[in-house]
Amino acid sequence: MTTDYTPPVEGTGVKATIQRFGGYLAGMIMPNIAAFIAWGLITALFIPSGWIPNEMFAALVDPMIKVLLPVLIGYTGGRMVHGQRGAVVGAVATMGVVVGAEVPMFLGAMIIGPLAAYLLKLFDDAVKDRIKAGFEMLVDNFSAGIIGGAVALLGVWGIGPIIEKVTEVAGDAANWLISNNVLPLASVVIEPAKVLFLNNAINHGVLTPLGAADVTETGKSILFMLESNPGPGLGLLLAFFFFGPRALRPSAPAAIIIQFFGGIHEIYFPYVLMKPRLILAMIAGGASGILVFIATGAGLLASPAPGSIFAYLAVTPPGGYFGVLAGIVVATGVTFVVASALLGFGRGEKEETPAEETSTTPQEA
């Protein structure tokens, strides 16, 4: 079985278009799941708040999430479009968005890697019958280098600042919802922003300062729990374990340990990006958890860092465990049910498995 994952989708309607889009995202992310798990384990173990704090090993965390993982995604996306040459220019172009923004550029990599490869493919198709014998290698190398470098410059100049602006807008939207006392609706902004790896910007840039102000007045704050609730991620990963594509099921238990017990929520974001409709499950689970937190008067003494079940229990005020645990359990259950339904309760497995086992890149077919 190959690592490529591009399920064929027939039809031209909106649903088919969304399914094709999800299939291409899956094709870029699924081959790199092992790298996400490696990063998650290193993060959960060695960061200052991890299980075995180690400053030397923790130095791997930022370069891996900000450089290695986006470049791998850009490389894979380029390969899907134009084989090995597309993979190389996709990786080069991805470095542009990596340098052009402070946040991890997974979304940028998914855009710019295939774009650079597509431009190279257009060039190759245009000149393939016009190159004189003996000049093929020269033209191939220089064309790939020029196109890859040019798109990388575009990434630094254009896409990076755009993603930074998206981060700012998401933070402002979350702040507005909180200020207008419609906390459950905050999940409509927070959950999509999280899977685009803007979780730290919202949590530490908006929610934590506001929560700290609450603590000085009431002794606890629900705001610490809006983004960091480990329940929705657990519910999603459980749904993948029971009903997801067969090729992904073995990766779910390790991801659950990293996410729920290690507090590294980023590990489940690629699973949502593979099937974008699952963001509905994350919103439903997040909003349900918030409703339970409100109904039970739950709150935390400080921001749980990282957002693991252990960190939650450590910053729960005395006598407040019922509300906190109830919100996590309900968020888990609602996300699991909705995600399982969106995955078809495994009914689509027979259709997806042959595609997974036989799919190849366009150049390998």
- Whether 36 and 267 have beta carbons less than 8 Å apart is answered as yes
Which range is least confidently modeled, 124-138, 216-230, 338-352? 338-352
Amino acid found at 145: G
Q: What is the pTM of this model?
A: 0.73
360 in a domain, yes or no?
yes
Within a domain: 175: no
Q: In this structure, are residues 81 and 69 in contact, taking their beta carbons and an 8 Å threshold?
A: no
Structural domain contains residue 196: yes
Per-residue confidence (pLDDT) for residue 11, from 0 to 100: 52
Q: pLDDT (tens digit, 9 = 90+) per residue, 72-113?
A: 999 999 999 999 999 999 999 999 999 988 777 887 888 899
Report the distance separating Cα 193 and Cα 259, nearest Å.
17
Bridge partners (DSSP) listed for residue 300: 221
Residue 282 included in any domain: yes
In this prediction, residue 1 carries a pLDDT of 34
Distance CA 308, CA 159 (A): 32
φ and ψ at 294, to 5 degrees?
-65, -45
Q: pLDDT tens for residues 310-362?
A: 989 888 988 889 999 999 999 999 999 999 999 988 775 544 443 344 343 44
In a domain, 159, yes or no: no
Can you give the pLDDT at residue 8?
45
Domain membership of residue 245 as a residue range: 182-365
- Helices 106-127/160-179 angle, 10° precision: 150
Residue found by looking up tokens 């919103």 in the block: 283
For residue range 13-23, list pLDDT tens digits in order: 555 666 666 66
Which pLDDT tens digit goes with each residue over 156-193? 988 777 877 776 776 677 678 777 778 888 888 889 88
Q: Among all chains, which residue has been given the structure tokens 């998650």? A: 40
- CB within 8 A of 126, min separation 6: which ones? none
| Segment 246-263 mean pLDDT | 89
Check: CB of residue 165 under 8 Å from CB of residue 118: no
CA distance 61 to 198: 16
Looking at the predicted structure, is the pLDDT value of residue 6 above 70? Answer: no
Instruction: Give how many domains the chain has, as a whole number.
Output: 1
364 pLDDT higher than 60: no
C-alpha distances in Å from residue 310, one per residue of 49, 73, 107, 212, 304: 11, 31, 30, 20, 9
Q: Is residue 320 part of a domain?
A: yes
Please give the mean pLDDT across all residues of the chain.
Answer: 83
Sign for the pseudo-dihedral over CA of 43, 49, 54, 56: positive
Q: How many CB atoms lie within 10 A of CB 34?
A: 13
Name the token pair of 199.
Answer: 């979780």
DSSP for residue 61: H
235 vs 351: which has the higher pLDDT: 235
3-state secondary structure of 221: strand
Three-state DSSP class for residue 236: helix
pLDDT tens per residue across span 270-287: 889 888 889 999 999 999
Does residue 311 lie in a domain region? Answer: yes
Domain-embedded: residue 125: no
* pLDDT over 50 at 4, yes or no: no
pLDDT at 3 over 60: no
Low-confidence winner among 33-37, 160-164, 259-263, 322-326 (lowest mean pLDDT):
160-164
pLDDT > 70? residue 31: yes
Q: In angstroms, how far is the first alpha carbon of the chain from the final one?
A: 14
Report CA-CA distances (Å) from 299 to 103, 149, 220, 228, 239.
Answer: 28, 49, 5, 12, 28
Which pLDDT score, from 0 to 100, does residue 22 have?
Answer: 63
Nearest partner of 144 among 95, 98, 84, judged by Cα: 84
Instruction: Give the number of other CB atoms < 10 A from CB of residue 156.
Output: 16
pLDDT (0 to 100) of residue 363: 42
Closest C-alpha to 268, from 179, 189, 357, 197: 197
* pLDDT given for residue 149 in this prediction: 94
122, pLDDT greater than 60? yes
User: Tell me, what amino acid is at 206?
Assistant: V
